[in-house]
Chain A
Amino acid sequence: MNFFIKLSKIDRRFIYLFIALVVVLPLIFKPKFPVVVSKPVQDVYDYIEKLPEGSNVLISIDYDAASMPEQQPFLEALLRQLFKNKLKPILIVQWQLGAPLGTMGLEKIAKEMGAVYGVDYINLGYRPGYVAQMVGIGKEIRDYFKVDYRNIPLDSFPMMKNVHNYNDIALLVGLEAGSTYLAWIEYAGGRFKQKIALALNAVSAPDAYYFYQSGQIVGLVGGMKGAAEYEVLVDKPDLAVAGMASQSYSHLVIILFIVLGNIAYFIEKGMKNKEGGK
């Protein structure tokens, strides 16, 4: 009894320390941890696998540094798949602070896969006013992106010659940290019937499952777990897979603390009731 009462009054810093340990130790000792691929993630992968060679895939960077551990591993895994299948990523940015992250990921994987800028991929950078932009791309992408992120005219790039609007884009992949994905679904999906796949931060992922159920998105990659699944699918385990053991052990510790905390609460409540009865 006393143990539980003491536990309910434990200094929160011990809990932080405990969580830090269960995150650090698995990263160092690397226990084998199976990553089972879920259907929403498999659906994104399969959809891309079926795209014909040369198809354009619009990637929207709608996250910033605060979401980097969740989104960057997926971006890199996705780009590996796209370049391997000779698909052409077109990168755009809706979150200003995400621009360097998108560029960093794109340049890293393009170099690794031997892709040529302007021929195999392009980076159009950031433009303000995402709703107007999403609607505008339905008519002509050049109305919003006349130049790429280095101010070079779009028409000077071979891969952009025949890209004008959503009709020329096989899939839109949104990497989302906030609610920008709602506008993609609303305008690009609802109005222009653009096929959309989403990679969401784990915080936002539950809110997007009903779009998956309704068929408004082809698939859903949720948080670092989703990214780990994608790394497994592209057969290139990286940061997300490395973090899965830490993730699972941390969850177990949190569950344990929730259970112990509740037991302590009910014991304390019972004791108070008894004292009150006396």
Chain B
Amino acid sequence: MGTTIGIWIAAGLTLFIYSFLYKDNPFYKFAEHLYVGITAGYWIIYTWAYVIQPMLLDPMIKNKQFILIIPAFFGIIMLTRWFPQISWLSRWSIAFTVGMGAGLGVTGAIQGFILPQVQATLVPLTGFNFETFNNFLIVFGVLTTLIYFYFSKEQKGVLRWGSKIGITFIMVAFGASFGYTVMARISLLIGRIYFLLSDWLKVLR
């Protein structure tokens, strides 16, 4: 019974949301507001049940880990942003977050992105086969794209042509990205329609 009610609510809300495709209407607005409200409520409950209680309150109260007062303090002063007179206090927490993020980010970017990607661009260009052609495209594409983003000199002559080819590679990448985006949106539509036809209307078996 519970499942059936859930399916009807989900189906109804799906139709409410899709009604926007015809035109804006109160049913759509209702579903939209309901979604925002429920998501916010879910976040609050989840943050309490899986973060604040088990990671802060329980260790402090049950295990006497009073060192956790320090991160709790930094967390609380983030909320001072709501009060203009003392909002400067939140900068301490932000400074900590930025510092930690920058430290992790710099080493992470070098180890995780820059070096492996440079290494992957150093590919063999010898031989006469399809792999060599692909490797040539990679090297040529990287170099010309980098030229497009080289702004320290006026783009004339070789730089101008390199830049034009570079933007072509970028546009091809955008095209692929857009194609995948269309695919993603259609997939979501398929998922919803599949739900309506199978779970709700029982048309699909």
Interface positions of A (Cβ within 8 A of B): 13, 16, 19-20, 23-24, 27-28, 66-70, 96-97, 99, 125-128, 131-132, 135, 147, 151, 183, 185-187, 189-191, 201-203, 205-207, 210, 213-216, 222-225, 239, 242-243, 246-247, 250-251, 254
Q: With both chains docked as a complex, state the minimum distance between the C-beta of B64 and any C-beta of chain A, in angstroms.
A: 16
* A203 in contact with B186 (CB, 8 Å): no
Residues of B within 8 A of A190 (CB): 108, 111-113, 116
* A250 in contact with B176 (CB, 8 Å): no
Q: How far is the CA of A186 from the CA of B184 in the complex (A)?
A: 25
Known contacts being A125-B50, A254-B182, is A223 close to B197, with CB within 8 Å?
Answer: no
How many CB-defined contacts (below 8 Å) exist between A and B?
141
* B112 in contact with A186 (CB, 8 Å): yes
Assess whether B191 is interfacial by the CB under 8 Å rule: yes
* Given pairs A203-B180, A246-B193, 5 additional interface contacts (CB within 8 A): A13-B21, A27-B197, A187-B112, A203-B177, A206-B176
B residues 43-77 touching A (CB-CB < 8 Å): 43, 46-47, 50-51, 54-55
Q: How far is the CA of A183 from the CA of B111 in the complex (A)?
A: 12
Q: What 9 A-B pairs come out closest when comparing CB atoms? A: A69-B191, A190-B112, A214-B120, A186-B112, A202-B184, A190-B111, A224-B187, A243-B190, A186-B108
Q: With both chains docked as a complex, state the minimum distance between the C-beta of A194 and any C-beta of chain B, in angstroms.
A: 11
Residues of B within 8 A of A223 (CB): 180, 183-184, 187
Interface positions of B (Cβ within 8 A of A): 21-22, 39, 42-43, 46-47, 50-51, 54-55, 100-101, 104, 107-109, 111-113, 116-117, 119-120, 138, 173, 176-177, 180-184, 186-194, 197, 203-204
Q: With both chains docked as a complex, state the minimum distance between the C-beta of B41 and any C-beta of chain A, in angstroms.
A: 12
Q: With both chains docked as a complex, state the minimum distance between the C-beta of A70 and any C-beta of chain B, in angstroms.
A: 5
Report the nearest A residue to B114, measured CB to CB: A190
* A242 in contact with B117 (CB, 8 Å): no
Q: How far is the CA of A55 from the CA of B52 in the complex (A)?
A: 33
* A69 in contact with B188 (CB, 8 Å): yes
Q: With both chains docked as a complex, state the minimum distance between the C-beta of A240 and any C-beta of chain B, in angstroms.
A: 8
Chain A contact residues, majority secondary structure = helix
Chain B contact residues, majority secondary structure = helix
Report the nearest B residue to A151, measured CB to CB: B54
Residues of A within 8 A of B47 (CB): 96, 128
Point out the residue from A16, A24, A96, A206 that lies within 8 Å of B46, measured CB to CB: A96
Q: With both chains docked as a complex, state the minimum distance between the C-beta of A102 and any C-beta of chain B, in angstroms.
A: 13
Q: How far is the CA of A219 from the CA of B43 in the complex (A)?
A: 32
Q: With both chains docked as a complex, state the minimum distance between the C-beta of B186 and any C-beta of chain A, in angstroms.
A: 5
Known contacts being A190-B116, A223-B180, is A239 close to B54, with CB within 8 Å?
Answer: no
Residues of B within 8 A of A19 (CB): 186, 189
Residues of A within 8 A of B22 (CB): 13
Residues of B within 8 A of A247 (CB): 183, 186-187, 190
Q: How far is the CA of A250 from the CA of B190 in the complex (A)?
A: 10
Residues of A within 8 A of B50 (CB): 96, 125-128
Q: With both chains docked as a complex, state the minimum distance between the C-beta of B33 and any C-beta of chain A, in angstroms.
A: 17
Can you pick out 25 interface pairs between chain A and chain B where the beta carbons lie within 8 Å of each other? Answer: A13-B21, A27-B204, A69-B190, A69-B192, A96-B46, A128-B51, A132-B100, A147-B54, A183-B108, A186-B112, A189-B112, A190-B111, A190-B116, A202-B180, A202-B183, A202-B187, A215-B120, A216-B116, A222-B180, A224-B190, A243-B187, A246-B193, A247-B187, A251-B182, A251-B183
